Amino acid sequence: MIRVLHSFDLKKKRVLMRVDFNVPIENDRVVDSFRIQSAIPSIKECLDAGSSIVLMSHLGRPNGKINEKFSLVPVGETLSDILEIPIKFSHDCISEDAINVTIGLHPGEVHLLENLRFHSEETNNIPEFAGKLARHGQIYVNDAFGTAHRSHASNVGVTEHFIEKGMGYLMEKELQYLLERFKEPKHPLLLILGGAKISGKLHLIDRFLDDADTILIGGGMAFTFLKALGVDVGQSIVDSKMVFSARKILARARRKRVKVVFPVDFVVAETIEKPKEIKTVAFDSIPDSFMGLDIGTETVNIFSDYILGAGTILWNGPMGVFEKKEFENGTKAISKMLSLAYDKGIDTIVGGGESAAAVKIFGMNEKMTHVSTGGGASLELLSGNTLPALEALGK
């Protein structure tokens, strides 16, 4: 059993908390604070209970080298704004100076450590490095769900140094919605899949073929499936190595009586950038020189009926190239339909990564049962795999 945050006596303790503050930064500013906001309940709980906190995270992939581009300084500023208190910052997560700052913390104070991945020992999960990190705390809390699929020093190695260790509220919440909720989902269970690639989602599809009633397939991956069905898709992206797998998935779906629904129309163009002509065509009438870049309105209507008739919905992957205004409609409409479904009491769960980014861009993130903060981690969990960081906490 993994301990949870509210089971600890936090008073006057130093809590070392692993968070996932791997957020997008532009011009030294945090442009999406969703992951920071999501860690606030655990941070507040500790502060309110009278502990001091040392927060540690990675940002980007600096590959073991100090690189200002990946500094957590902007994150510290955002965090300080949200908490409305000044926070202490150390430029090297394991230096003696950093340890001294930690030792000098008073109850209610926060100390943020610079990017863990400025040391290659973090991703290599080197025990000495984990031991040095452990010096920062008396209690270890992991609330970094987005990183839980990694075996690194700050989320796996470090746990060996603590008797008192457990997970934070965000981790608990993610498990509740991505794991518990799917053990006995309200039916019909609807899986909406999109995004460019099938390859990363094979396990997810496999697992949901056992449980789902219907699977809607949009986004780039629809073309690989259509290709497998012998449909001519013009210049649309096809993952040619996956055509065979797509055929196998469809055969399994038939055996399992899971309904798989494809788009009936697409928004097509010859180029993604500055397209000269954009039109909507039937799924089997994509002109040779055109590619499908979004689902069409007819498809949105069909998908909407399934969405509003569902009991539980899991959405993973955008319906088109939603970063471009010209091709955002499908993804936007599906976000909107999910929010309407949520209003009707349907469980709407958005797997992290691109679909989470989309619901945020379209302003729908508050109108979902759950939007995951994890990309790879949510995919792993939903696929039925264990997460190394959780295993480490359970030992």
- What the block records as the tokens of 327 is 């091709």
Residue 122 CB, shortest distance to ligand 3PG, in Å, is 10
Residue 99 C-beta: closest distance to ligand 3PG, Å: 25
Q: How far is the CB of 129 from ligand 3PG (least distance, A)?
A: 17
263: contact with ligand 3PG by CB under 6 A: no
Q: Judge whether 390 and 165 are in contact, CB under 8 Å.
A: no
Q: Examine residue 380 and tell whether it contacts ligand 3PG (CB under 6 A).
A: no
d(CA 69, CA 270): 36
Q: Which stretch binds Mg ion (CB under 5 A): 254-262, 285-293, 328-336, 369-377?
A: 369-377
CB 102 within 8 A of CB 55: no
Question: Is 353 annotated in the active site?
Answer: yes
Taking CB under 6 A as the rule, does residue 65 contact ligand 3PG? no
Q: Among Mg ion, ligand 3PG, none, what does residue 373 contact (CB within 5–8 Å per kind)?
A: none
**Residue 135 annotated to the active site:** no
Catalytic residue, candidates 50, 60, 309, 376: 376
* Residue 22 in the binding site for ligand 3PG (CB under 6 A): yes
Count of residues interacting with ligand 3PG (CB under 6 A) = 8
Shortest distance, position 154 Cβ to Mg ion, whole Å: 16
Instruction: Select from 10, 13, 20, 159 the one that contacts ligand 3PG (CB under 6 A).
Output: 20
Q: Is 88 marked active-site? A: no
Query: Which of 42, 147, 154, 316 touches ligand 3PG by CB under 6 A?
Result: 147
Among ligand 3PG, Mg ion, none, what does residue 22 contact (CB within 5–8 Å per kind)?
Answer: ligand 3PG
- Please name the amino acid found at residue 143: D
Q: Which is nearer to ligand 3PG, 45 or 122 (CB)?
A: 122
Site string for Mg ion, 375-394 (x = CB under 5 A): xx------------------
Tokens of 286: 């994509």
Residue number, 51 or 147, with CB nearest to ligand 3PG:
147
User: HEC states along the chain?
Assistant: CCCEHHHCCCCCCEEEEECCCCCCEECCEECCCHHHHHHHHHHHHHHHCCCEEEEECCCCCCCCCCCHHHCCHHHHHHHHHHHCCCCEEECCCCCHHHHHHHHCCCCCCEEEECCHHHCHHHHCCCHHHHHHHHCCCCEEEECCHHHCCCCCCCCCHHHHHCCCEEECHHHHHHHHHHCHHHCCCCCCEEEEECCCCCHHHHHHHHHHHHHCCEEEECCCHHHHHHHHCCCCCCCCCCCHHHHHHHHHHHHHHHHHCCEEECCCEEEEECCCCCCCCCEEEECCCCCCCCEEEEECHHHHHHHHHHHHCCCEEEEECCCCCCCCHHHCHHHHHHHHHHHHHHHCCCEEEECCCHHHHHHHHCCCHHHCCEECCCCHHHHHHHCCCCCHHHHHHHC
Of these partners, Mg ion, ligand 3PG, none, which one is at the site of residue 220 (CB under 5 to 8 Å by kind)? Answer: none
Q: Which does 200 bind (CB under 5 to 8 A by kind): Mg ion, ligand 3PG, none?
A: none
Q: With binding defined as CB under 5 A, does residue 60 bind Mg ion?
A: no
241 binds, among Mg ion, ligand 3PG, none (CB under 5 to 8 A by kind): none
Candidate residues 13, 14, 18, 150; the one interacting with ligand 3PG per rule CB under 6 A: 150
- Extract the tokens encoding 376: 């790879």
Q: Near Mg ion by CB under 5 A, which window of 71-79, 204-212, 312-320, 372-380?
A: 372-380
Rounded to the nearest whole angstrom, what is the least distance from the CB of residue 372 to ligand 3PG in the complex?
Answer: 11
35 labelled catalytic: yes
Encoded one letter per residue, x for contact with ligand 3PG by CB under 6 A and - for no contact, window 325-364 reads: ----------------------------------------
The Cα–Cα gap between 371 and 313 comes to 12
**Dihedral of alpha carbons 194, 195, 197, 203, sign:** negative
- For residue 2, which of 350, 389, 345 has the smallest C-alpha distance? 389
- Catalytic residue, chosen from 197, 247, 360, 367, is 197
Query: Which one, 64 or 376, has the nearer CB to Mg ion?
Result: 376
Q: Which residue is nearest to Mg ion (CB)?
A: 376
Q: What angle do CA 43, 49, 54 make, to 5 degrees?
A: 40
- Binding residues vs Mg ion (CB under 5 A): 375-376
- Binding residues vs ligand 3PG (CB under 6 A): 20, 22, 61, 146-147, 150, 375-376
Active site residues: 35, 197, 353, 376
